[in-house]
Structure 1
Amino acid sequence: MMNGTQCKLFHHQLLHPTSASNISLVGVASVSYKEAVLPVVLVDIGNHDNHQLGNLLFDSGAQISLVRMSLAENLKLNGKEVVTTITNKVGGEEEELRTKIYQVRIRPLNKSQFHTVLAVGIPCICEELAVVNLTSIAQNFKIHPVSLYRGSGSVDLLLRIDLYAKMHCGQTIEAGNLVARQSPLGWVIFGAIPGEPM
C-alpha cells in the first residue's frame, strides 16, 4: 500500500520505498556545516639543495605515508622501486601500484630541525585544498595568525599515524567544532566550520 492505494504492478514489495510514516528521526542537528577543514600544515619539503613549501596532511587512519610523485621528481629525490598494494578500506578494493618509496625530509617553517619520513610515491593524494580564512579561525583559538601555516591546492605529503604518531601529537585547544593542535610541525587546525542554521 502507498498512501492508502494498493500497487497494481507485479513485482517484489521491496522495490517500493518505505512509507514515510514508519520513519522517525532522532537527534537531528540544527546546524549545517559548510566546510570540513582537514588537518593540514604547510612545511618545507626536500633536501639541502632542493626544497619547496608543501601541504602535509596528518591522517590518523593511514598505515602508509604518501608523497605526490611529481613533487618527488621535481625535488630530484632518490627512490627505491617497489610494487605496493593499496587497499581502499571503505570498499575493500585493492590496487597494485608500481612506484618508488622515498626518504622525504620535512621541516616546520618556524624551525630548522628536519624530520625524515618514508613515503610511497602516488600521482594524487586527494582533492585540492580550499582556501581557509585563518585570521578568523586564529581569533577563535587566541592564536596569532602568523603562527598558522596552512596552504591551499595540492596535498603533497600524507603522514601515517603508526610510525609517526609523535608528529601527530601536541597541545590541543577546542573552539566549537574546530580543534587546534600544536604538532612538532606547527599548529594544525581541523574540524568543521559552521554554516547556516537548518
Structure 2
Amino acid sequence: MSFSEKYSRALTARNLTNDAVHSSTDSLTASAISDIRVGGLGSALTRLKASLTSSGKIGEPERARLADALKAWRAEVRKKGIERKWLPTPRTTWDAAAHEAFYTKVAELSLAHWLDGKCEPCGGTGKATINCTCKACNGTGRATVKGERLVVQRTLDMLSDLVGLVGAHGARAASMLRETSLVRRSQRSQ
C-alpha cells in the first residue's frame, strides 16, 4: 500500500489510538514531521488531495484547505517565476499587476489540474467507447491545459514541480513510516 493510500485511510479512520495494534496516526505523524524539515507545503497539498479524494465533495473544511493551499502555492509559483525569469522586470505598477495576475493564473491552473485533471469527455478512462481511444486526450485520460501558449507552458512547468514536491514529500514520509514500523516490530518482539 502506498503512503498516500495509508494517509487517506488515516484521515477517515475512526480509531486514532496509537498502540501496538493501531497505527493510523503513524502516517499522519510521518507526514507532518517530514514536512516540518523542508517547509510545509507538501503536507498541506497531500492532505488537501486526500481529503477531496476520500470525501468526494467540497465542504467547509475542504474549502478552507483549498484556500490555504492555493495561497501557499501562489507564493511558490511567484517565487519560481521570479527565479526562472519568466517575465521581464516590471517597470510600472501596471507591469507589476500584470505579473501578479500571470502568477495567479498559473498557480490556479496548475493546482486545479493536479487536483482533478481528468479528461471530461472520457471521464479519465482514455476510452471514448469500448475499443476506441478518446480523441480529446489521445488516450491519456488527462485533460489538456488550455490557454495562451506562455500560460500553458508555465502551468505545465509548475504542474511538474507540484508532482515532484508532493512525490518527494510522500517519499520522505514513507521512509519515516518504515522506520516507525521497524521500531514498533522490534518493540513487539522484545
- Please, what TM-score do these two structures have when normalized by structure 1? 0.22
- Please, what TM-score do these two structures have when normalized by structure 2? 0.22
Q: Which has the larger radius of gyration?
A: 1
Q: Which structure carries more strand by proportion?
A: 1
